Amino acid sequence: MKKFKTYDIILILLGVFLSTIAAGCRNTENSITVIIIRNYYFENYSEHKVDFVKKEYLRAVSIHALDDVEEYTYKSELTDEKIAAFLLAVEKYGMLSWKEEYFLPKAIFSDYSWSIIIHYSDSTEKRSLGAYENYPETWDDIYEAFFELTGDFVFNAKRPID
């Protein structure tokens, strides 16, 4: 029989803890099921979908903002550990408390706008949207959390992660 070292036990417990958090995302009464991020830049449009139930990330890009996205052109799988870490960041940085709109009067006619739609298991949703240079205070933290989760830059307006 293998003897476990303290380090091995800590890793096992951490794995169980993170898996439990990720499972909780899908099993609670009113949990986040999907997050959709949309970016509009001049006439270009991108949509990023994070599906916590199917554990997948999808991306679609259109060269005309008015065209509907017919299919996602990129897909990757999400691990329970990455999902759990992301959900902790969402809670830590208050993403679910973001205001509905982030606009300054001069930015209403901006060439760039963004939106986030969070779908919950009870069929409700929360929306937050804004224009270039108008972001929630914790935008950069959530931007980095999305990058850690998906490996992709889901918000087009900000610089790449250093």
| Share of the chain residues as helix, strand and coil, in percent rounded to the nearest 5 | 35, 30, 40
pTM equals 0.72
Q: Which residue has the higher pLDDT, 16 or 137?
A: 137
How far apart CA 131 and CA 40 sit, in angstroms, is 9
- Please compute the mean of the pLDDT values over residues 115-140 and round it to a whole number: 90
Distances in Å between the alpha carbon of 9 and those of 3, 22, 34, 79, 106? 10, 20, 33, 21, 56
What is the DSSP-derived secondary structure letter of residue 111?
A: S
Instruction: Label residue 73 by pLDDT band (50, 70, 90).
Output: confident
Distance CA 114, CA 99 (A): 13
The residue assigned the tokens 């999808």 is 58
pLDDT tens, position by position, 99-123:
999 877 665 556 778 889 999 999 9
Helix or strand holding residue 22 (H, E): helix 6-27
